[in-house]
Amino acid sequence: MCNSPMRVYAGPSRYVQGSGAILRIGKEIKSLGIQGKAFIVTSETAGRITRPMWERSLIEEELEFVTYLFGGECSDSEIQKIKLLADSAKVNYFIAIGGGKVLDAARAAAEILRMEIVICPSIASTDAPCIVLSIIYTDDGQMQEMRLHRKNPILVLVDLDVIAKAPKRFLIAGMGDALSTYYEARTCKSTHSLNPRGGLQTEAGLALSLLCRDIILTDGVDVAASYETQGITPAFERIVEANVLLSGIGVELCNVAGAHAIHNGLTQLKETHAYYHGEKVAFGLITQLVLEGESFTEIHRLLQFYKKVGLPSTFKQLGLKDPTKEMLLKVAKRSIIEEETMSHEPFAVSANMLIDAMRYADSLGNLT
């Protein structure tokens, strides 16, 4: 029997994006054959903005539901709380409405109960809606683990009107997360690293990762500059699709590498907790490219983009004013633990190598 790795494709069963998309949630759920009572997990802000729309749609389709207000952190204690409440409510599937941590916590609870999940992001700050992972944190906000689940969401519903109401910083952070997709996919291919499903990279994954990067670099600056006044333009739609769908499928089919490992390391410092996932990934990407010996021309192109849209490229912009060697060592040690995705890089990365690369990335950011 052949035991060599296969090329594996995985992704959400259905992706729906557009203005007013959340008004279709009841019809979409019914069309997929989902039956029974839903357990809806949502944040306070997302619930306030979206509840009149999804509640109307679910009631019109005579779908039962109960709701739970997310506790704020995607931690094991919060996941267990959601699981117990959902179990006692005798629900049949989950609906998650909110930002990345809401989605990840609901997804992890749904996995424990072996239930389908419908994802409705209220922001486009990460690729969390489409992926099969939950990023688990401690109760005080330190990244703990990436937890792999059996299957992707059965439905991802992205309402552009809802996304456009969120602060611009969320969309910019999403660009930082999405921008890393191609570079990390490229690295994973070069090292024959397996994707989250245990398969080799597909050409579809690599092509979509490259398209993701190109959309971000082509449309990102204009969308950021006109965010408050533009409305739902084709460029805005493309950026949302890149942040959510293309980046998510790129990760599913190819995996991540150094940039996300460095993000995970940065979460060890409480000074970075006020900064979003994509903002830390953006700095991690520059550091990864420094480690890999990427050309200055390419790094400079990215740093110019960061400056124009407002992504962080220095320690100071991540809340780290003059970080000590001990602080950077803490980041580095967490970034290179055995189970981290730093192992997808084409060479072994030591703590000292990573500290030097972070410092050099910071110096390049300060010069841009």
Q: How far, in Å, CA of 79 to CA of 8, rounded?
A: 29
Contact (Cβ atoms closer than 8 angstroms) between residue 256 and residue 344: yes
> Active-site residue numbers?
177, 260, 263, 277
CA-to-CA separations, 351 to 266, 268, 291, 333, in angstroms, rounded: 13, 15, 12, 6
Would 315 be classed as within a structural domain? yes
Specify if 209 maps to a domain: yes
Whether residues 241 and 352 share a domain: the answer is yes
Q: Give the torsion through C-alpha atoms of 240, 244, 122, 42, to 10 deg.
A: 170
Token pair belonging to 148 = 């792999």
| CATH, residue 110 | 3.40.50.1970
Co-location of 196 and 129 in the same domain: no
Which domain, by its residues, includes 156? 15-165
The answer to whether residue 7 is domain-embedded is no
Is 127 contained in some domain? yes
> Among the three residues 165, 195, 224, which one is the final residue of a domain in this structure?
165
Q: How many domains are there within the chain? A: 2
Query: Can you give the pLDDT at residue 2?
Result: 58
Give yes or no: residues 136 and 204 share one domain. Answer: no
DSSP 6: P
Instruction: Tell me, rounded to whole angstroms, the distance of Cα 30 from its chain centroid.
Output: 27
Helices (H), 118-233: 160-165, 168-190, 203-225
* Same domain for 109 and 246: no
343 and 223 assigned to the same domain: yes
Q: Does the predicted model carry a pTM greater than 0.75? A: yes
Q: Is the sign of the CA dihedral 179, 184, 187, 192 positive or negative?
A: negative
Q: Which of 165, 186, 215 is the last residue of a domain?
A: 165
Please check whether residue 350 lies inside any domain of the structure. yes
Of 166, 253, 179, 249, nearest to 214 (Cα)? Answer: 179
At 229 the pLDDT is 86
Q: Is 4 within a domain?
A: no
Residues 194 and 265 in one domain: yes
- Does 265 lie in the same domain as 250? yes
Beta carbons within 10 angstroms of residue 140's beta carbon: 9
Return per-residue pLDDT of the chain as tens, 368 residues. Answer: 456 788 888 889 999 999 999 999 999 999 999 999 999 999 999 999 999 999 999 999 999 999 999 998 999 999 999 999 999 999 999 999 999 999 999 999 999 999 999 999 999 999 989 988 898 999 888 888 889 899 899 999 999 999 999 999 999 999 999 999 999 999 999 999 999 888 999 999 999 999 999 999 999 999 999 998 878 999 999 999 999 999 999 999 999 999 999 999 999 999 999 999 999 999 999 999 999 999 999 999 999 999 999 999 999 999 999 999 999 999 999 999 999 999 999 999 999 999 999 999 999 999 98
Does residue 14 sit in helix, strand or coil? coil
Residue where a domain stops, chosen among 137, 165, 193? 165
Q: Is residue 238 part of a domain?
A: yes
User: What's the rounded Cα separation, in Å, for the pair 365 and 221?
Assistant: 18
Identify whether residues 324 and 199 lie together within a single domain. Answer: yes
Q: Are residues 116 and 244 in the same domain?
A: no
Same domain, yes or no, for 130 and 228?
no
* pLDDT for the residue 164: 95
Answer yes or no: is 330 within a domain: yes
